A and B are shown apart, each in its own frame.
Chain A
Amino acid sequence: MPIRERVVSELERICGPGAVVREPLQLLTYECDALPHMRATPDLVVLPQSAAEVHQIVRLCAREGIPFVARGHGTGLSGGALPVPGGIVIGLARLNRVLEIDIPSRRVTVEPGVTNLDITKHVAPYGYYYAPDPSSQQVCSIGGNVAENSGGAHCLKYGFTVHHVLALEAVMADGEIVHLDSAIAGAPGPDLVGLIVGSEGTLAVVTRVTVRILRKPERVRTLLAAFDSIGAAGTAVSEIIAAGIVPAAVEMMDALAIEAAEAAVHPNFPAADAVLIVELDGNAAEVEELFPVVEAVCRRAGATSIEIARDDAQRARIWRGRKAAFAAMGRVSPNYYVQDGVVPRTKLPEVLERIRRLEARCGLRIANVFHAGDGNLHPLICYDGKVPGQADRAVEAAGEILTYCVEAGGSITGEHGVGLDKVDFMSRMFTEDDLEVMRRVRDAIDPRRLCNPGKLFPTPRLCGEVPGPYREHPIEKAGLAERF
């Protein structure tokens, strides 16, 4: 059902005519997030400038029964911000003010469109930083981070978004604007902030976020170790943990991922079957005591070379190689699909072996980049969208990998969320009873299911546009746009 003109003029009255997007070419931006194979054209996008405007928009939607989807910066990798038929997209990019920086009380309050890295930039001069650091931190919004409970390379030691959000202001699905403190800010009663964080925009539109910031660690030491098998690198990871060390980060990349990163950003990684990046941070005495232990463990596990970052520049170069890994796949493959699954750390070798066999069977190359410390895999499945059938095969292979994760006792998503992409996998991980209770919670808060419907829960698809496998868009074909 198309949006009625009356609603359009009301939206224009709320936000100003320039804030309501209906031009087909402009709407293209909002067709998908960073997951290329799913897209849907929105009927209308509205770009509010303040929480008060968001409040009025959602009230209007509630009154008219119009579904709505919050959108941050569209870097999501599960189709969470995909438009829904007959609904509107509420783009939050213009809510990008930093509202309060309180160093003595170690907290920052921002609007949801502020990027993750901007928070750190604002507090860095005082010696502080915001800990969760998704690889997309330069571009993703804090609102998106809250919705996805985003993690990053350093979440092994410092936790995820949910461990750092002290309070939220949100417009609930019924149009109420609420201020909620999280359990970590001492609010008694069920931890509603803990529920909303990670609910993928299905319970509320977040309009303000207060996060805690941490003092920069006194010492950071980083090493890059090369191994001639993933198994050997995996052994090193297990032994670091067994030695009672909790590194700030432990990241692994396999040969294909290394090749791609080299081609894209030249981090000067050794040609190896696997590299491991291990970072320790914290108190200087502690780091200096434990770092040699990590080095020795890597050598014992058969490291063929170890590079220790001597300064920030060298550390930054190593991390550039890791953080650019997704985007770099473009250098070795025309298209790729990023999977996100989790296995208990000890099951990594077994699951990686299954992925190797799958690679041989399906005829598509699969690169592996992962947060080895917490068992979070990011297989990158390479395909060529121009070769008929390959895109579908890639999606199939990606699905199969999730089966391996579930069978190993893991999860279908560690940080990218269920979104639309994985709704069909939810029932592999959860029973109908599990899902029913989650649905009840959702319906208690959003009884009419107006808030990002069709996402996260395995519901029958809404009528109208059915998202399908990725097809190259005309403007991409014409060379007018490139996917990161």
Chain B
Amino acid sequence: MTSIDALPQAPFLAGSVVRTGKQADVIDGIKPRVVVEPRTSEELASILASASRERLTVVFRGGGTRLGWGRIPQPIDLLISTRALNRVLAHEHADLTATVEAGATLDELAGTLGQHRQWLPLDRTGEAATVGGAIATNDSGPLRHRFGTPRDLLIGVTLATTDGRLVKAGGSVVKNVAGYDLGKLVSGSFGTLAAIVSATFKLLPMPAAWHTLSAAFDTADDTARAAAAVNDSQLEPVSLEVRTARSGRDAATYRLLVRFGTSPAAASAQVEQARALVGAGEIIEGDAEASLWRRYQAHTSSSAGTIVTLNWLPAMLARVLALLDEIAQTGASVELAARAGIGAGQLRLDGSMDWQAAAVARLRGQSDLLRHVTIRDAPPAVKQAVDAWGPAGAAAAIGAAVKRALDPAGILNAARGPI
């Protein structure tokens, strides 16, 4: 066994960039003992095998944009950074596919794809967000309305397992049902099952034009009605967002954003139709449109307070908005960015620690209305008071069995992840 103090000199780390954990590496108050940055996937796999043998706890880090998510970790022996695995391995533009290493950022990938006017239609939480992190969290934003979550675009993965194997599932063709889809299994697994080493995605042509309708409303009911009207129409927006914010006694504000990304003629025709349907709103295009969505994204992923994701039946939107309004009246600030057509959103709760924890508990208590109320990011005090993941039901036992099979020593993202 390698003693913890001798860890940086451990033979199995020789060759990989190694340093001791620093303040910048801290997760929820826990400083990793050692940070390693393997330069190849083989190196990563063999580090994992040694870590598993020696029962060293491991957390994977991509860009570090979502590392605060999950429960407070146990002591972390190894923080394995994927940032050196950052190559775009292939961009088969004529086949609309790309294979990329997990540590590449979504921005880096976008740069390559853009050369052929193609894109991977995923929102990103920050400039540093990596491909591996996007899959491991299966995180999504406004584009989910039309394009789904990372798992919907993923067609193949290579994983490094805790016994040091490099294995693949899926492939590089868009249609393929051979074998188990392990790519789906690791989507949302938060680094608890294996390391994602590289991924193949199906791509889309980049839309030529973007137009957004932005409409403000006074009441939750009006907002929900307008969202439902768009959703039930034959318009094909890429995003259908409802945003609400309320701080204590101030009145709540409501906004509907309907975004179209397609050919210029179709985008402008549809945004006009959307305005007619909604009966109000301002049409935004060009640079202003792009920066509106950049701000929107930056806002909802900034980390003050507790950030929770939650889900509901789309038809229940008005009730959800009313509930949030009630919660805000208890004296703090509440902000929701919601996918109205899907029934999912990110909620920010900002107030005292006690209030934040109580608000999460209250949301979980509304199980007839809300499902999967999950804490993404929260101050440690809140995570101590309420569980980050909430009740997992039947999935918990199945997930645990799969985890035991793939990570028998229980070293991966120990105690933090959903399983």
Contacts and interface: CB of A to CB of B under 8 A. Distances in A.
Given A178-B394, A189-B189, A344-B97, A441 B182 contact: yes
Given A342-B173, A411-B176, A413-B177, A430 B184 contact: no
Which of B92, B151, B174, B182: most chain A CB closer than 10 A? B174
Contacts of B393: 178-179
Contacts of B392: 188-189
A417 interface: yes
Given A163-B152, A189-B389, A245-B205, 18 more contacts: A172-B398, A188-B392, A189-B417, A190-B186, A190-B402, A191-B184, A283-B266, A286-B263, A344-B95, A374-B174, A410-B176, A411-B175, A426-B178, A426-B179, A436-B167, A441-B180, A441-B182, A444-B401
6 contacts: A162-B181, A183-B151, A197-B184, A342-B176, A410-B171, A422-B178
Judged by DSSP, the binding face of A is mixed
A298 interface: no
A441 B405 contact: yes
B290 interface: no
B64 interface: no
Contacts, number: 266
B314 interface: yes
B406 A178 contact: no
Nearest to A106: B314
B232 interface: yes
B265 interface: yes
A188 B389 contact: yes
Contact of A456 (B151, B179, B371): B179
Interface of B: 92, 94-97, 117, 138, 148-149, 151-152, 159, 161, 165-169, 171-182, 184-190, 192-193, 204-206, 208, 228, 231-236, 262-263, 265-266, 269-270, 309-311, 313-316, 341, 343-344, 371-372, 374, 389, 392-395, 397-399, 401-402, 404-406, 417-419
B262 A286 contact: yes
A109 to B, nearest CB: 12
B168 to A, nearest CB: 6
Contacts of A191: 138, 151, 184-185, 187-188
A241 interface: yes
B315 to A, nearest CB: 4
Interface of A: 102, 104-107, 148-149, 151, 155-156, 159-160, 162-163, 172, 176, 178-181, 183-192, 194-195, 197-199, 215-218, 238, 241-242, 244-246, 282-286, 289-290, 342-346, 371, 374-376, 409-418, 422, 426, 429-431, 433-438, 440-445, 456
A437 B407 CA distance: 11
Contacts of B417: 189
A445 B269 CA distance: 51
Contact of A180 (B117, B149, B174, B395): B395
Given A194-B151, A215-B234, A344-B172, A188 B372 contact: yes
Contacts of B188: 183, 187-191
A102 B228 CA distance: 13
Contacts of B372: 181, 185-188
A346 B92 CA distance: 9
Contacts of A199: 180
Contacts of B399: 189-190, 192
Contacts of B182: 195, 437-438, 441
Contacts of A429: 171, 178-179
Contacts of B95: 344-346, 375
Contacts of A414: 173, 175-177
Given A104-B314, A346-B92, A374 B173 contact: yes
B309 A192 contact: no
B187 A283 contact: no
A412 B178 CA distance: 7
B133 to A, nearest CB: 15
Contacts of A106: 231, 314, 341
B165 A436 contact: yes
Contacts of A426: 178-179
A180 B372 CA distance: 12
Contacts of A183: 138, 149, 151, 184, 187-188
**Closest 10 pairs (CB-CB, A-B):** A194-B184, A178-B394, A244-B205, A189-B418, A186-B311, A286-B266, A104-B315, A444-B405, A218-B234, A285-B269
A163 B202 CA distance: 13
Nearest to A200: B177
A244 B97 contact: no
A435 B178 CA distance: 11
